[in-house]
Structure 1
Amino acid sequence: MPKNNNNSDVFLNSLQLLQKYNYSAEEHIIVTKDGYKLRSFRIPRKGPPVLLVHGIGDSSDCWLVLGPKHSLAFLLAEAGFDVWIFNARGNRYSKEYTKKISQRQYWDFSYEEIGSLDVPATIDYILYVTHRSKLTYIGFSQGTTVFFVMCSMLPEYNSMIEHAILLAPVAWMKYSKFPLIDLFSRNLDNLTLYAKSKMVYEVFPFNYNLNRYHANVCQVNSPFRLLCELEYFIDFGLKKITNLMPDRLPVITSHIPAGSSSKTFFHFIQGYANKRFQRYDYGIERNKKTYSSPSPPDYNVSLISVPMTLFVSEVDWFSDKDDVGILKSKLKTVDKFININESVQFTHLEFVYGSRVNSIINKPVINILDNLRNR
């Protein structure tokens, strides 16, 4: 195992990371209407509540693994905000259910259920515990997708969010630059059938052996560092691995992935294939039963009334600037649109794991929240 002091964090979970750095931490179990148990973490402070929502296949860890000086959860707590860190159903922290069901039943969800059930249950819980009427929402990647789902399907939640800060927003994926997405979309029917026949319900689960591998090959002085660099270039377009916090890289890579459902990934690929931001496509017959229509309806993002700030990078493979352009044209309440120029070469993972995250993301985010608090 790596001997660098920073890497003692490699196998610490969210609660342990908070406790190691001497932050008062709470663990909360939130039960959704359909029986999923979600484990959220809180750094209690006297200021307004802020909810942090992770990306696909990720967890609460993403807001903590850079440590106290660079991770947004710690910095928000230092600024006096009441920090709540979300975990979606199916990731390493939220794998329990209120009763005995089959694996097939448990994993039968996509990002729609996270947006229409998990996030609303979490918001209800936070507002009840804090005796507040509103909170601020910060989402990254899929954490923005589920926000759009919630606020369009359940418009009453718009009034519970004072402001939404959306990092690398993902809704339309028409122009996604991820190299494999075209291959996946052309073979989507076969992939779906294969997953069903082989009972592949969970994908990219949290895996200690994989974590140990990443903790070793992603060290600064590892002779196998090229394997780490190739993986992150192929998956995320990261040309310089040093754009992720170099001395924290074993910690970052040993906490991802954290698990999700195959159906969630298929839902995103459907969006690319159909060039729409739409509900899950079950095929004509089941669509008729589910939606009373042969094709799934679009999410009506024009119903969203929450004031929003969008952070967008011109080189992001997953939150493409042209796709965000489609989204922005349909949203009515974008307060600020922060565009990170192509020359900066700021890729998708850098929004939460980057070595430049303080100057490009964290400080502007905290300034926005401070302005809201001081109004």
Structure 2
Amino acid sequence: MKTHIGNLSFSQYLKTIFLTFTFHCVICEFNDSRFLPVEQYVKFRTNEMINFWGYPSEVHKVQTEDGYILTNFRMPNPGGYPILMLHGLTVSSDCWFLRTPQEDFVFLLWKKGYDIWFWNARGNMYSREHVNISFSDQTNFFDFTFHELGIYDTTATIDYILNMTGYKQLITIGHSLGTTNVMVAASTRPEYNEKVALSILWAQSSYLSHMKVKNLLDTLYSIYVRWLDWPHDTKFFVYDQEPERTLRGACSPGSPMKALCVMLLRELSGPNSNQGNQYSASKMLYRIPTGSSIWVIRQMIQNIRNGKFMPYNYGPEKNLMKYGVKMPSEYPIETMTVPTAIYFACCNDYLSSSKDNHILMKKIPKLVQFYEIPYKRFNHGDFLWAKDSYDLFYRDVIGQIDKYSGFSVQKTKPSVIK
């Protein structure tokens, strides 16, 4: 594992990564079938999970224009085309490692020679630093919505990756709220249209007014801010702080509520799917929530209620301070030129409805794929843990990536130990 802060020349960087990769492969063995138990998973950081199976990892610190320092991770592939993975609401880069390298999408891409990067949003368990604001100053540290995740966190990460790799473009894959990142960035900062060769959206969360659990989420939000003890907090379920610590304790191994917690997580995604398993759901359960801002939730609730995809309306005075106008408009996604591929479940994703996916589809000017998962009970979590992922949608996604990256060199990897 290497940590990088700062810039190297392209040739210096490739040499460093090549030597790191070569050394790593000498001392480690690839073991794709090795099972990572839940109890061990929760003790690992993302880079440690990658190393558990013998793959190379790096830790990268990325500073945003407004001073946040993100801890991002990487599975380096020297010279490989860069792919950026964008996680959803209150989760982290850990969400891409719920099974084994035989199944998880990021390993399939790495084996094809792609260079895989993992983003972590400000405020989650990995990104708690700022150049001026202390994490303990939570009123100011958590003063952001998912608007900032797009215009600052995503753009800074894209620039960092392109600078480090020497590529002029990359491909992004977002799940759930992570699907909003590139749309916010590209529609408000047009220069980023040229930096993303393809934006892949899994279970979009830009339009939310038709989601099946919208009334439940609205009610839970109202309870959280009106009746519990956290009505004035700007933080939202920060990892290892109350109320997240209580929630995690209630769902921990040995707790009589664990089975109920796993069931609720799977059912909230969409009931009766045969694609999940208790181990993947348990791992996700112990890594969600990892922390965000209540303003992110408020922006989502506001968009659920108004049926639009737009920045949060703080009111005229704060809108002027945040956006330079008294009333923000909808994100102008119709101006984007980024090729975009949408993957959605038709009937059983309770957090991303087919109707909302169709609304988004009609607004994307350069839609290159609109793919309905060919399993009627496929749900929101299945995008991360489905047992038949390759046949259901990975094959098509990889085809799109190969096409838009133009990266045709299949690297030879060490034999996988089975």
TM-score after normalising by structure 2: 0.79
For the pair 1:227 / 2:266, whether they are aligned, the reply is: no
Partner of 2:208: 173
1:146 partnered with 2:181: yes
Work out whether 1:236 is the aligned partner of 2:269: yes
Structure 1, unmatched stretches of 5+, are none
Aligned to 1:295: 327
SS in 1 for 2:90: coil
- Given residue 344 of structure 1, which amino acid in structure 2 is its aligned partner? K
**Which stretch of the first structure deviates more once superposed, 201-210 or 147-156?**
201-210
Q: Could you tell me whether the CA contact under 8 Å between 1:62 and 1:353 is conserved in 2? A: no
The alpha-carbon distance between structure 1 residues 108 and 353, as it changes in their structure 2 partners (threshold 3 A), is same
246-255 vs 121-130, which moves further? 246-255
The equivalent position to 1:112 in structure 2, one of 141, 147, 152, is: 147
> 2:365 aligns to what?
332
Q: Which moved more, 1:279-288 or 1:308-317?
A: 279-288
* 1:10–1:215 Cα contact (<8 Å) kept: no
Whether the 8 Å CA contact 2:262–2:278 is kept in 1: the answer is no
Instruction: Give the equivalent residue in structure 1 for 2:30.
Output: none
Q: Distance in 1 between matches of 2:104 and 2:170?
A: 20
- The change in CA–CA distance for 1:25 and 1:293 in structure 2 (over 3 A counts) is closer
Measured in 1, the distance between the counterparts of 2:36 and 2:299 equals 40
Q: In the alignment, which of 153, 159, 164 is matched to residue 129 of structure 1? A: 164
- What is the CA deviation profile of residues 259-295 of structure 1, one whole-angstrom value per residue up to 9, with x for unaligned ones? 1111101100000112211111112443356556553
Comparing 293-302 with 149-158, greater Cα deviation is found at 293-302
Rate the CA distance shift 1:107–1:225 in 2: closer, same or farther, 3 A: closer
The whole-number CA distance in structure 1 between the counterparts of 2:67 and 2:390 is 38
Taking only the aligned residue pairs, the percentage that are identical comes to 30
1:291 touches 1:297 (CA, 8 Å); kept in 2?
no
Structure 1, 297-306 or 247-256: larger mean CA deviation? 247-256
Aligned residue in 1 for 2:48 = 16
Consecutive unaligned residues of structure 2, counting only runs of 5 or more, are 1-34, 409-418
Partner SS for 2:56: coil
For residue 319 of structure 1, report the CA deviation from its aligned partner.
Answer: 1.8
Tell me the residue number matched to 1:33: 65
Q: Which range moved further: 142-151 or 193-202?
A: 193-202
Cα distance in 1 for partners of 2:360, 2:113 equals 32
Q: 2:291 aligns with which of 241, 246, 259?
A: 259
**1:20-53 Cα shifts (integer Å, max 9, x gaps):** 1111111000000111010111111132000000
Aligned residue pairs total 363
One-letter identity of the residue aligned with 1:368: Q
* TM-superposed deviation, 1:232: 1.8
Q: Is the CA contact 2:266–2:281 (under 8 Å) kept in the aligned structure 1? A: no
C-alpha separation in 2, matches of 1:97 and 1:288: 24
1:78 shift after superposition? 1.2
Matched, 1:6 2:41: no
Q: Distance in 1 between matches of 2:220 and 2:42?
A: 32
Change (3 A) 1:229 1:63: closer
Q: Distance in 2 between matches of 1:286 and 1:109?
A: 12
Measured after TM superposition, the shift of residue 234 of structure 1 is: 5.2
Quickly say closer, same or farther: Cα 1:213–1:161, change in 2 above 3 A: same
For the 8 Å contact 2:361–2:370, the answer to whether it is kept is no
* 1:157 to 2:189 alignment: no
Check if 1:321 corresponds to 2:354.
Answer: yes
Distance 1:209 1:161, change over 3 A: same
| Cα shift at 1:313 | 0.7
SS of corresponding position for 1:90: coil
Is 1:368–2:405 an aligned residue pair? no
Give the Cα–Cα distance (whole angstroms) in 2 for the partners of residues 197 and 169 of structure 1.
Answer: 29
Q: Residues 313 and 347 of structure 1 are in contact (CA less than 8 Å); yes or no, is this contact kept in structure 2?
A: yes
Secondary structure at the counterpart of residue 180 of structure 1? helix
Query: Cα distance 1:252–1:290, how it changes in 2: closer, same or farther (>3 A)?
Result: closer
Query: Residues 169, 197 of structure 1: CA spacing in aligned structure 2 closer, same or farther, 3 A cutoff?
Result: closer
2-structure distance, mates of 1:106, 1:5? 34
Query: Could you tell me which of 73, 76, 89 is aligned with 2:106?
Result: 73
Alpha-carbon separation, structure 1, partners of 2:281 and 2:324: 48
Deviation at 1:19, TM superposition (A): 1.0
CA deviations on 1:72-91 (whole Å, 9 max, x unpaired) are 22221111100011101001
Q: Counterpart in 2 of 1:95?
A: 128
Q: State the match for 1:278 in structure 2.
A: 310
Question: What secondary structure sits across from 1:344 in the alignment?
Answer: coil
Aligned match of 2:219: 183
| Matched letter for residue 6 of structure 1 | P
Query: 1:285 and 1:35, CA in 2 relative to 1: closer, same or farther beyond 3 A?
Result: closer
Q: Which amino acid aligns with 2:65?
A: K
TM-fit CA distance, 1:199:
3.4
Quick one: which amino acid aligns to residue 37 of structure 2? N
Once residues 18 and 213 of structure 1 are traced to their aligned partners in structure 2, the CA distance between those partners, rounded to angstroms, is: 28
Question: What SS does structure 2 have at the residue aligned with 1:326?
Answer: helix
1:308/1:336 contact within 8 Å kept: yes
Report if aligned partners of 2:90, 2:288 keep a CA contact under 8 Å in 1: yes
Contact residue 262 and residue 282 of structure 2 kept, 8 A: no
Segment drifting more, 137-146 vs 174-183: 174-183
Q: Is the 8 A contact 1:210 1:254 kept in 2?
A: no
